[in-house]
Chains A and B, each alone.
Chain A
Amino acid sequence: MLTRISAWWRGLWGHSQALVAEAPLEIPWEREWGYLPKRNAGPGFSSADYVEARRRAREVALATLGDELWAQLRRQGYLDVPSKRFPGLSYRLRIGRRIEVRTALGVISPWPYDYLCINPLYPLPEEEFFAHLYLYVRDREDIILDVAAPQPWDQALGRTF
């Protein structure tokens, strides 16, 4: 029943799953995105496109993280990933926000501030980028160390929507 309602809703907004599947493949690294305002997917993206993109992003985030982590994220609102480089340090990941660096008592952080600002180079729905960031932190912490911009305050990411 929910599936039928969902299909009807998408149809109402002029988008069915089939239509999206038939859209030409968009290779994001072949385009320039730097000119876009914050939290914007670019010209020609309708409000229905945003709704559909976020729905599809959630599917990928779930597939990327697996059922257990996804359920933990929904329950807690964040995932903590322990650092493999710095004992006693962990990265708190939240959807659409900067990474929060957390340290155990007595552990000194390698960063001057507690928040790390990291964005994708092209616009992505925030749940999809959350899954990407999780993979970076867990499997390629070296890249996080290279690119992270420490900031003194929390804030929404600019390149996601």
Chain B
Amino acid sequence: MGRIIVANRRGHQLVEWTTETDTPEAQAQIAEAERIIREARENGCLVSKRVDGKHVVDREPFNPKVEEYQIIAPIAGG
């Protein structure tokens, strides 16, 4: 089971997928997660992934085997 933490004004919301089955529903979940990661990056967000109990910024393409991603808000000065 993988998940994306989408940080937003609600604190966060989760997008989850499973890699334990290969059903059309599971494939659709993975496609949706990949789309969200891609669109977040296209809109200036960073993406982090959980490694050894903490998050590090990740520049690799979406990997459904990653346990947890997080969308990091774009920033601006002032």
Chain A interface (Cβ < 8 Å from any Cβ of B): 20-21, 23, 25-29, 41-42, 45, 49, 52-57, 59-60, 63-67, 69, 116-125, 128-129, 131-133, 135-136, 139-140, 143, 147-149
Contact = CB atoms under 8 A, between A and B. Distances in A.
Nearest to B53: A66
A56 B6 CA distance: 12
Given A123-B9, A125-B11, 15 more contacts: A20-B10, A23-B13, A25-B15, A26-B6, A26-B10, A27-B36, A29-B45, A63-B50, A64-B48, A67-B53, A121-B44, A121-B74, A122-B8, A124-B8, A124-B9
A26 B5 CA distance: 12
B77 A128 contact: no
A129 B74 CA distance: 10
A64 B77 contact: no
B57 A52 contact: no
Contact of A140 (B36, B50, B57): B57
B78 interface: yes
Contacts of B6: 25-28
A54 B57 CA distance: 23
**Which of A42, A69, A123, A136 counts the most B-chain CB atoms under 10 A from its CB?**
A136
Nearest to A127: B11
A28 B72 CA distance: 11
Contacts, number: 126
B70 A64 contact: yes
Closest 7 CB pairs of A and B: A56-B11, A149-B77, A66-B54, A139-B57, A29-B43, A120-B73, A149-B78
A52 B40 contact: no
A53 B73 contact: no
A53 B77 contact: no
A128 B12 contact: yes
Contacts of A136: 46, 57, 72, 75
B55 interface: yes
Interface string B43-75: 111101010011111000000000010101111
Given A63-B55, A64-B54, A135-B72, A53 B78 contact: no
B54 A69 contact: yes
A60 B70 contact: yes
